[in-house]
Amino acid sequence: MTPTRRDLVAASGAVLAAATLGMPAVLGQAKARVVVVGGGPGGATAAKYIARDGGGRIAVTLVEEHEVYQSCFHSNLYIGGFKSYEQLLHRYDALTAAYGITLARQRAARIERDRKNVVLADGTRLPYDRLVLSPGIDLKYDSVPGWSQDAEEIMPHGWKPGRQTLLIREKLDAVPDGGTIVMIAPPNPYRCPPGPYERASMFAHVLKSTGRTKARVVILDPKDSFSKQGVFMPDWEKRYGTMIEWLGPRVHDGIKSVDPAKGTVVTGFETYENCAFVNVIPAQMAGAVAREAGLAPAGGYCAIDPATMKSTVDPAVFVLGDACIAGDMPKSAFSANNQAKVAAMVACSELAGEPAFPARYFNTCWSLVAPDDAIKVGGRYEPRDGRIAATETFISQPGESDEVRRQTQAENLAWYEAISADIFT
């Protein structure tokens, strides 16, 4: 992993070449300019590490319209009653104070890639030498027949934080004993692969612990299999008996439609009427600002160079986190934070002459199944054959001891505190 002299020479050469070619006119100006769009785990981490490691030669502006970041990761723990909503909130004050990052509290309306400007909602143009896009996901509101943005209050998705997360908990609290919750799981690729199944676990936990043991959770999945399925399903049976039922497409034969007004879900196999609550988690795509910049020409997500996290369409733009196509890496906060560090290293090398190292990636996703019972999946990744490929992977096993599961949950909680500090302080 140690950089060879050749790596370092190559990195220096890249800077020289860039300056000579006048691509980013970075070495001649007072400070290189990096604009980061999106203040989540990808964007905020990139802003911090570029500002910290750029040797004072890079001016970083973080474009984020919200004053407070609400983490989607661990929002299932709020739904399950294991965290307060306040524990999911993070401010940007420490980033701006400690690293000199300029915070532009606006929405990024669009990118002018030809002129290298980010245009803010009020028309202000922010010029950049390098742009970091980490806009997260947008929902495909037309991916479930009968469902729409107008219906998201009645049949909430809870896949973006804030009001939607709170709604999920409110609707869960209102489920009567004997009621049926139907969750429509999303197709790949989507934010937080184990997330729907952790959420179903939290539904069952809340129902069981409040004496509503006759209620049930039906997961209608467009996928034949899902993340950590081999661990989730035996755990569900052990913890919740028959409360959670998972049906793949071979059984339900397709999700034909939903009727928000009546609380109905129609599949090819059967119809669920008078559902206590329907949780529609739709198909997803990269945030609009990345798609509208022409960085996701096919499939809704942005292709990147696995060695640099740069867009394959535009080498002046990094795309991080849920919005990018990261090969074997899942769309997770851990991944976004990790990818941001690769992008920051590359940006600091190109713009400030800092040393470059080979890209290395890591991710772990923890999921809580029941109190003190968490499972995990993760791995190490490297650029290989034009994609980010897994080199080592690990996953929890069915039948692990209570002590192992308790320790896994302790890790999960400790990880949240550490990564929050890594991103926001």
Nearer to another protein, 10 or 23 (CB): 10
Burial class (CB within 10 angstroms; exposed 0-12, middle 13-18, buried 19+) of 115: exposed
Strand partners, 392: 380
316 is a contact residue toward another protein (CB under 8 A): no
Q: From the list 213, 376, 383, 385, which residue makes contact with another protein (rule: CB under 8 A)?
A: 376
378 is a contact residue toward another protein (CB under 8 A): yes
Q: What's the min distance (Å) between Cβ of 412 and another protein?
A: 7
User: Could you say which residues in the range 327-366 bind another protein, by CB under 8 A?
Assistant: 334, 337-338, 341, 345, 355, 357, 360, 362, 364
DSSP-derived secondary structure for 119-172: EETTS-EEE-SEEEE---EEE-TTSSTT--GGGTTTS----SSSHHHHHHHHHH
419 is a contact residue toward another protein (CB under 8 A): yes
49 is a contact residue toward another protein (CB under 8 A): yes
Consecutive H or E run containing 98: helix 93-99
171 is a contact residue toward another protein (CB under 8 A): no
Between strands 302-305 and 284-286, the pairing is: unpaired
Q: What's the min distance (Å) between Cβ of 74 and another protein?
A: 13
169 is a contact residue toward another protein (CB under 8 A): no
Between strands 180-184 and 277-280, the pairing is: parallel
Nearer to another protein, 240 or 416 (CB): 416
Nearer to another protein, 101 or 419 (CB): 419
Nearer to another protein, 45 or 61 (CB): 45
Site string for another protein, 385-404 (x = CB under 8 A): ------xxxx-xx--x--xx
Stretch that binds another protein, among 121-129, 158-166, 176-184, 411-419 (CB under 8 A): 411-419
Q: What's the min distance (Å) between Cβ of 383 and another protein?
A: 13
59 is a contact residue toward another protein (CB under 8 A): no
Size of the site for another protein (CB under 8 A): 45
* C-alpha dihedral (139, 145, 147, 149), degrees to nearest 10: 40
- Distance separating alpha carbons of residues 64 and 136, to the nearest angstrom: 12
Q: What's the min distance (Å) between Cβ of 296 and another protein?
A: 26
411 is a contact residue toward another protein (CB under 8 A): yes
Nearer to another protein, 9 or 394 (CB): 394
Number of Cβ atoms within 10 Å of the Cβ of 372: 15
Q: What's the min distance (Å) between Cβ of 258 and another protein?
A: 38
Q: Where are the alpha helices (DSSP H) in 210-246?
A: 229-240
Stretch that binds another protein, among 63-71, 268-276, 306-314, 409-417 (CB under 8 A): 409-417
Strand partners, 37: 63, 133
418 is a contact residue toward another protein (CB under 8 A): yes
Q: What's the min distance (Å) between Cβ of 371 and another protein?
A: 15
121 is a contact residue toward another protein (CB under 8 A): no
Pair 34, 59: CB distance under 8 Å: yes
Pair 184, 281: CB distance under 8 Å: yes
Pair 95, 85: CB distance under 8 Å: no
Pair 376, 193: CB distance under 8 Å: no
Q: Which residues neighbour 359 within 8 Å (Cβ) at sequence distance 6 or greater?
A: 306, 307, 308, 309, 342, 345, 346, 382, 383
Q: Which residues bind another protein (CB under 8 A)?
A: 1-3, 49, 53, 334, 337-338, 341, 345, 355, 357, 360, 362, 364, 376, 378-380, 382, 391-394, 396-397, 400, 403-415, 417-419, 421-422
